[in-house]
Amino acid sequence: MSPSPSKRTEVRRLPERASYDRQLIFAILDEALICHVGFVHEAVPVVIPTIHARVGDTLYFHGSPVSRLLRGMRSGREICVNVTLVDGLVVARAAFHNSMNYRSVVLFGSPRIVDNADEKWAALEAVTEHVVPGRWAECRPMTDKEFKGTLVAALPIDEASAKLRTGGPEDDAADYDLPIWAGVVPLSMTPGEPVDDPEAHIEVAVPSYVAEYRRPRQQP
């Protein structure tokens, strides 16, 4: 399904890079570890990074009820969510044509606070699994107090668009004869060796979902 863009999600600048394909939008949201949320507070924009997770066509956020972010979501006013994956540096012959390869999603809407306990549990599981798949089943479950002390907000993935750049440099025709190297430096988020908690009381082997942790490119 590729709904028509709204006035706000329509990509006007370089529209050839735009996509309104829902599966592509979902794949970008799922791959990105964090998002940036913008809201208006006392007439001024505020941008805060946070963890998100997608369940179907809903995006969930969680946090402390006293955080500025969650209070911003509680207001019922519109927010804007941006997720950006940087895939590479595009090194062109001309300074003017240097660029980046990226996949980005922008999403508008009014979040609602999740009151239903089942939906809230599912959202908190999704957030944990979004970051480290396999972790939810193994970790010490949330207590009732922790559960009640966490606020969850939900945003429909409705008014969204993706913007992408892929491929090599796009220089002016005349510049291809210049003796200047051009190409792409691929970039990716790479995990290092897991570090055991130095405060651990007992020795526990690193679970496979941690030892083999990757953030694989999601294909729509």
- What part of residues 84-113 is at the interface with its own copies (CB under 8 A)? 84, 86, 88-89, 91-96, 98, 100, 102, 104, 106, 108
Both tokens assigned to 96: 């003017």
- All residues at 6 or more sequence positions from 214 whose CB lies less than 8 Å from its CB, including other chains: 191
Place of tokens 């369940």: 55
Q: How far is CA 157 from CA 36, 93, 113, 135, 190, in A?
A: 15, 39, 15, 25, 28
48 scored as a contact of its own copies (CB under 8 A): yes
> From CA 161, how far away is CA 18, in angstroms rounded?
7
Q: How far is the CB of 186 from its own copies (least distance, A)?
A: 4
Chain-centre distance for alpha carbon 179:
39
Query: Whose Cβ is closer to its own copies: residue 56's or residue 186's?
Result: 186
> From CA 65, how far away is CA 48, in angstroms rounded?
15
Q: How far is CA 121 from CA 133, 155, 178, in A?
A: 16, 16, 59
Q: How far is the CB of 168 from its own copies (least distance, A)?
A: 5
Q: How far is CA 210 from CA 54, 133, 189, 193, in A?
A: 21, 9, 15, 9
Query: Whose Cβ is closer to its own copies: residue 1's or residue 158's?
Result: 158
Applying CB under 8 A, which part among 19-27, 52-60, 74-82, 111-119 lies near its own copies? 74-82
Q: How far is the CB of 21 from its own copies (least distance, A)?
A: 20
Q: How far is the CB of 146 from its own copies (least distance, A)?
A: 4
Among 4, 201, 216, 219, binds its own copies (CB under 8 A): 201
Query: Whose Cβ is closer to its own copies: residue 191's or residue 220's?
Result: 191
Among 45, 56, 76, 216, binds its own copies (CB under 8 A): 45
Q: How far is the CB of 22 from its own copies (least distance, A)?
A: 20
Could you give the 3-state DSSP secondary structure of residue 20?
Answer: coil
Which element (helix H / strand E) includes 74? helix 68-74
Per CB under 8 A, which of residues 115..144 are in contact with its own copies?
A: 124, 128, 131-132, 135-136, 138-143
Query: Whose Cβ is closer to its own copies: residue 6's or residue 23's?
Result: 6
The residue type of 90 is V
Among 220, 194, 190, 187, smallest CA distance to 209 is for 194
Per CB under 8 A, which of residues 141..160 are in contact with its own copies?
A: 141-143, 146, 150
Query: Whose Cβ is closer to its own copies: residue 8's or residue 220's?
Result: 8
